[in-house]
């Protein structure tokens, strides 16, 4: 039972990327902030998501470089991988970043940090530990957690998720992964490159949100490296035994049985709303999370919800962007500020990388009909990519007939970096001609974007009409 009441301007529940961004901005502006977190500061991204996965991928890429250097004239060989040292590298990366997200840092910025479970008791108060927090505004940013699908025989206590895959002490002999979304595919390639046998099972198509032909390039790369991919597969049952796990499935019109040492479930996530008392606060929610409007407000207009816990995209950078929208409203009283996901990029950090911003071709045609225009440019025609032995990949641009960019997909080396200028183009409403006129340094991978944009004009530039105009102009005095 609470014994004290703490009044503040802004109470933030959840110290992941979104909550921390709101807290840092508001506290530094002099707002009286209370930040509540029941788990580790930094949330999923720092402790079990973005940071450890990218650290693991970096180690895997280093291992793969030893195997793939022959084409560059460097003798290739099978590397010796020390799995325990790889895991140490992962945790060192977390530890190095952790101070930025720590209690001490946020207290230094002026926020009060309370570690415990927050629960709403009415529309303007929460209880945490032995305190009642009464705030003018609340932000719920509690994130999401892995989903364990209802598969016969699957024991959640014997399966791994991304929350514990980075804490393995024993090197897996054969990792079976359920789910071929970004997490599943990244972990599949990383572990295969570290010398571990990997099988991936997907009920639909791998990387379903991506352009299909670009997703297939990623699948082909993983298959070449030895990953077994089972798509459009139905899992019949899972059997856990001493030191092994067996997955019976139906794929390729036939029954299959896969035996592995470890099972990783990467089959989606669900919002963390349990125990928050949202009904008492008048906050509507469902299986997809907290219902929000364009201003990120819930059905209780005193309460915002951002990040994975709310309806909408689930990306760390989206939560960070939403934090800025909340600051505009809660601190600067800009009630008209709203979130816009039309220029939201996302990246799958496999090799090749896969990046997307805006609409895929299918979504664009669904929204704008068959008048949309598509242009492509291949990495095989990029001199820098060829010089580095990585001339595989392409950029695909989807636009209206007048050149308004609807979406861009990139597959290839550094796609996550190359998507940035296209994100700026879409967010600022720039047409494709702006990219075509960019002076790009030579030789860089970035030239691929300029070349793709330039190809937009090729049919009209070299048309019979233009040729006739050139002949006419040739007759005029200089």
What DSSP letter does each residue of 421-456 carry, written as one string? HHHHHHHTT-BHHHHHT----SS-TTHHHHHHHHHT
Q: Give the mean model confidence (pLDDT) for residues 235-260.
A: 96
Strand, coil or helix: 143: coil
Average pLDDT over residues 174-181: 98
Does the pLDDT value for residue 124 go beyond 70?
yes
Alpha carbon distance 305, 257 (integer Å)? 43
In this prediction, what percent of the chain has a pLDDT beyond 90? 92
Every domain range in the chain assigned CATH 3.30.390.30: 345-461
- 76-111: b (≥16 Cβ within 10 Å) or e: eeeeebebeebbebbeebbeebbeebeeebbeebbb
**Confidence (pLDDT) at 347:** 98
Confidence of residue 471 (pLDDT cuts 50, 70, 90): confident
pLDDT score of 465: 86
Q: What is the mean pLDDT of residues 332-355?
A: 97
Within the chain, all domains assigned CATH 3.50.50.60 are found at: 4-41+102-146+270-330, 156-268
Short-list 371, 377, 367, CA closest to 446? 377
2 pLDDT higher than 70: no
Residue whose C-alpha is closest to residue 81's, from 195, 169, 231? 195
Residue 401 in this model has a pLDDT that exceeds 60: yes
* pTM greater than 0.85 (yes/no): yes
3-state DSSP assignment of residue 108? helix
Pairing of strands 234-241, 244-251: antiparallel
- List the structure tokens of 33: 């902030």
pLDDT, residue 34, reads: 98
Residue 152 makes CB contacts below 8 A (sequence gap 6+) with: 236, 237, 238
Is the model's pLDDT at 55 over the cut of 90?
A: yes
* Residue the block writes with tokens 């440019």: 377
**Residue of higher predicted confidence among 472 and 255:** 255
Q: What is the arithmetic mean of pLDDT over 113-139?
A: 97
In CATH, what class is 156-268? Answer: alpha beta
- Long-range contacts for 238-243 (Cβ within 8 Å, ≥24 apart)? 238/151, 238/152, 238/153, 238/154, 238/155, 238/263, 239/153, 240/153, 240/155, 240/158
Answer for the pair 449, 430: CB distance below 8 angstroms, yes or no.
no
pLDDT of 46 higher than 70: yes
Q: What is the mean pLDDT of the chain?
A: 95
Q: Are 431 and 461 in contact (CB under 8 A)?
A: no
- Residue 394 pLDDT level (bands cut at 50, 70, 90): very high
- Please say if the pLDDT value at position 285 is more than 60: yes
More confident: 463 or 85: 85
pLDDT (average), residues 427-453: 96
The CA distance from 401 to 368, in Å, is 10
Does residue 402 carry a pLDDT above 80? yes
- 393: nearest Cα among 444, 340, 355, 430: 355
User: Quick one: pLDDT at residue 1?
Assistant: 52
Q: Which of 371, 352, 348 is nearest to 361 (CA)?
A: 371
Q: What is the pLDDT of residue 467?
A: 82
The CATH H-level (homologous superfamily) assignment of domain 4-41+102-146+270-330 is FAD/NAD(P)-binding domain (3.50.50.60)
In words, the CATH class of domain 345-461 is alpha beta
* Nearest Cα to Cα of residue 110 among 47, 178, 33, 55: 33
């Amino acid at each position: 039972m609470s014994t004290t009441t703490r009044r503040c301007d802004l109470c933030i529940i959840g110290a992941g990327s979104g909550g921390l961004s709101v807290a840092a901005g508001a506290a530094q502006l002099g707002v009286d902030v209370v930040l509540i977190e029941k788990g580790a500061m930094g949330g999923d991204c720092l402790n079990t998501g973005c940071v450890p996965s990218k650290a693991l991928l970096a180690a895997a890429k280093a291992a793969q470089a030893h195997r793939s250097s022959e084409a560059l004239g460097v003798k290739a060989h099978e590397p010796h991988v020390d799995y325990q040292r790889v895991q140490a590298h992962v945790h060192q990366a977390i530890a190095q970043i952790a101070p930025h997200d720590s209690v001490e840092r946020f207290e230094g910025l002026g926020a009060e940090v309370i570690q415990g479970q927050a629960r709403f008791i009415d529309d303007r108060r929460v209880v945490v530990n032995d305190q009642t927090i009464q705030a003018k505004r609340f932000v719920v940013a509690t994130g999401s957690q892995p989903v364990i699908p209802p598969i016969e025989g699957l024991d959640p206590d014997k399966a791994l998720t991304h929350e514990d895959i980075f804490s393995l002490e024993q090197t897996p002999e054969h990792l079976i992964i359920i789910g071929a979304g970004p997490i599943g595919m990244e972990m599949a390639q990383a572990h295969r490159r570290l010398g571990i046998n990997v099988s991936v099972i997907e009920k639909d198509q791998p990387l379903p949100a991506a352009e299909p032909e670009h997703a297939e390039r990623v699948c082909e790369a993983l298959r070449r490296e030895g990953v077994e991919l089972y798509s459009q597969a139905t899992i019949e049952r899972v059997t856990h035994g001493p030191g092994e796990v067996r997955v019976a499935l139906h794929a390729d019109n036939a029954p299959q049985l896969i035996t592995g040492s470890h099972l990783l479930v990467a089959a989606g996530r669900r919002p963390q709303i349990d125990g928050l008392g949202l009904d008492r606060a008048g906050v509507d929610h469902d299986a997809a999370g907290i219902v929000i409007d364009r201003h990120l407000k819930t059905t209780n207009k005193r309460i915002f919800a951002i990040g994975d816990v709310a309806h909408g995209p689930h990306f760390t950078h989206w939560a960070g962007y939403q934090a800025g929208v909340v600051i505009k409203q809660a601190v600067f009283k800009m009630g008209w500020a709203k979130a816009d996901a039309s220029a939201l990029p996302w990246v799958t950090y496999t090799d090749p990388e896969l990046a997307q911003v805006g609409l895929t071709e299918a979504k664009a045609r669904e929204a704008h009909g068959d008048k949309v225009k598509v242009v492509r440019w291949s990495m095989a025609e990029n001199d820098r990519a060829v010089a580095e032995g990585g001339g595989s990949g392409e950029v695909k641009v989807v636009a209206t007939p007048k050149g308004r960019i609807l979406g861009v997909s990139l597959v290839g080396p550094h796609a996550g970096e190359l998507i940035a200028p296209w994100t700026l183009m879409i967010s600022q409403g720039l047409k494709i001609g702006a990219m075509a006129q960019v002076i790009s340094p030579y030789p860089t991978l970035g030239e691929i974007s300029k070349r793709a944009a330039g190809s937009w004009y090729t049919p009209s530039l070299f048309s019979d009409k233009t040729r006739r105009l050139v002949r006419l102009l040739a007759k005029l005095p200089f």
